[in-house]
Chain A
Amino acid sequence: MTYLTKLSAAALSELLISKEVSAVEATRAHLDHIAAVDTDLHAFLHVAGDAALSTAAQIDARRAAGEELNPLAGVPIAIKDVLATQDMPTTAGSKILEGWVPPYDATVVARLRAAGLVPLGKTNMDEFAMGSSTEHSAYGITRNPWDRDRIPGGSGGGSAAAVASFQAPLALGSDTGGSIRQPAAVTGSVGVKPTYGGVSRYGAIALASSLDQVGPVSRTVYDAALLHDVIGGHDPLDSTSLTERWPSMAAAARAGLQDGALKGVRVGVIKELSGDGFQAGVTQRFNETLALLVAAGAEITEVSAPNFEYAVAAYYLILPAEASSNLARFDSVRFGIRVNPESGSLTSEHVMSATREAGFGAEVKRRIILGTYALSAGYYDAYYGSAQKVRTLIQRDFAAAFNQVDVLVSPSAPTTAFKFGEKLADPMAMYINDVTTIPANLAGVPGMSIPIGLAPEDGLPVGLQIMAPAKADARLYTVGAAIEQLLEANWGHTMLSQAPALTPTEMFASEEGAV
């Protein structure tokens, strides 16, 4: 049954609908593969084997009874640990929430369950999504399936590694400054950050509320679209949720597979997101992809976004400011651990301070202190106030660019996957890594990363970022699916079929609660 793990969600769905394969068989195949490879990769913080098999059996029974089900019913999925799940621990990669089982499901999780998808478990991430490498998880690193000595990206390294290593065809991620798109780029998978407000944030543990967005992680553009259709749309439980009626993303992706889908599409190349600081092989694959687009009839224009230069600086003021406020809820009263101080009186304030000292990792402390600084009297106008103005300027850059073109493109990340430890000692080096993905979060526009080849110098995946105007998520799926089809026709294979085979480890992960 190994072949079942190699299928796209769409292909697996067809076999499930035709009853050639049962949901239990599909789920078991993925659980077996997780047991074989994840002791080493560590994409999952928790695997809910028994629950997944029981969910799958229910789907099989409903399908046998002739019930009309969502096309993805019976398809396994991995869930980033930032999303509340009422039957699985939810830690956001932090010690402060160790063992916490939420009393409710995030809206996106509830929607998955309603559509009959089968949750396999929770995936690893940088603590509270603060990081670009998953090295800041309190529960250990996740390895990149392409090279086990390298990072899988972050913060959603677990979700990206899970789909790239065929442990799940689909996963959920969250993207505050690139946490879906950059892991997709460095693992050769697909990731989409929807328009801000397009997918509910209810039950997503908040990092920076004006930037966070939940989105799909997959191996194909069409699979991401199918998942987007399940999780997207208005949610009254999220007051920032948009009330529009969204077109079918799956239909948009199918439109991209038609002949001539790229003809006349105006593609803008962002001048500021290229050149210096970009790895040679990244630039090479990016330029080759542009040439393919031209050959397919797209019109390429260079556009300038002069204020993108200030995006990283603005982001690392706005994010810590919002995070320092959001993370104040970890006060050792309502959820999470409680640690008493070693000395001094046992007051709420002292217990809270001791708990946060023990429960938060170094990066979380760094950003909370930075945010507290940025918001303090005397600095507020110079830092936080200025950062909010930069946000306006970046939105104007996007508006001007989208007056000229339909979509914007750039490399998804400046480099391929770097080695563990390479950027840990220098926070700014880690932060600068997000230069390509941050502007979309500041402006709220949707972005997608798709694989466009391997960098010749290291044989590691390179991603293309595609961005569209706010609410034009469907355009990403059309253009993304078209480019993916062009590239695969050119290569004669999919990107992930080139990933090295993983050696099964002898020690099997325990079925429940493998951390």
Chain B
Amino acid sequence: MSEITAEQVAHLAHLARIDLSPLEITDLTHDLGQIVDSIAKVSEVATADTPATSHPMPLTNVFRDDVVVPSLTVEQALSGAPDRAGDKFRVPAILDEE
């Protein structure tokens, strides 16, 4: 078993911005331990001289001319927002008062 702890899962959940219940943390700690044990085998064949591949097709940067093209209207862009204030997305406070 790899040594994934409940504290570690709680920390990861915080990094990923997902509140987890204590039960979810227990379950995930178990699942993750099992999954990580199974996938750790990648290191068996990943030798230092093997180059990494991040993308299936070799690609270079794709550019286009810097010209205005049709895009979403303000109404369209805001159409799915859970909250808005005029022509802007309304968000909760960014900074905590504490």
Q: Which residues of A contact B (CB under 8 A)?
A: 100-104, 195-197, 210-211, 236, 239-240, 242, 307, 310, 312-314, 316-317, 324, 328, 331-338, 341, 345-354, 356-357, 360, 362, 365-366, 368-370, 372-373, 376, 382-383, 385-393, 395, 427-428, 431, 441-445, 470
Contact = CB atoms under 8 A, between A and B. Distances in A.
Given A317-B42, A357-B20, A392 B36 contact: no
A100 B78 CA distance: 12
Interface in B34-66: 34-36, 38-47, 50-57, 59, 62, 64
A331 B91 CA distance: 10
A347 B96 contact: yes
Most A CB contacts (10 A, CB to CB) among B20, B41, B92, B97 go to: B92
B42 A369 contact: no
Nearest to A315: B39
A444 B57 CA distance: 7
Contacts of A210: 54-56
28 contacts: A197-B59, A240-B57, A310-B44, A310-B45, A328-B17, A333-B81, A333-B89, A333-B91, A334-B89, A335-B80, A335-B82, A347-B96, A351-B92, A353-B14, A369-B16, A370-B32, A370-B35, A373-B12, A376-B15, A383-B40, A383-B43, A387-B46, A391-B52, A392-B50, A392-B53, A395-B56, A443-B56, A444-B56
B85 to A, nearest CB: 12
Given A336-B82, A392-B50, A365 B28 contact: yes
A389 B44 CA distance: 11
A338 B83 contact: yes
Contacts of B53: 388-389, 391-392, 395
B87 interface: no
A382 B43 contact: yes
A154 to B, nearest CB: 18
B31 to A, nearest CB: 6
B18 interface: yes
A486 B18 CA distance: 52
Contacts of B54: 210, 388
Given A313-B38, A357-B18, A383-B39, A101 B92 contact: no
Given A324-B16, A427-B34, A392 B93 contact: no
Contacts of A101: 79-80
A405 to B, nearest CB: 20
A444 B32 CA distance: 28
Contacts of A390: 42, 45-46
B83 to A, nearest CB: 7
A392 B51 contact: yes
B80 A389 contact: no
B56 A196 contact: yes
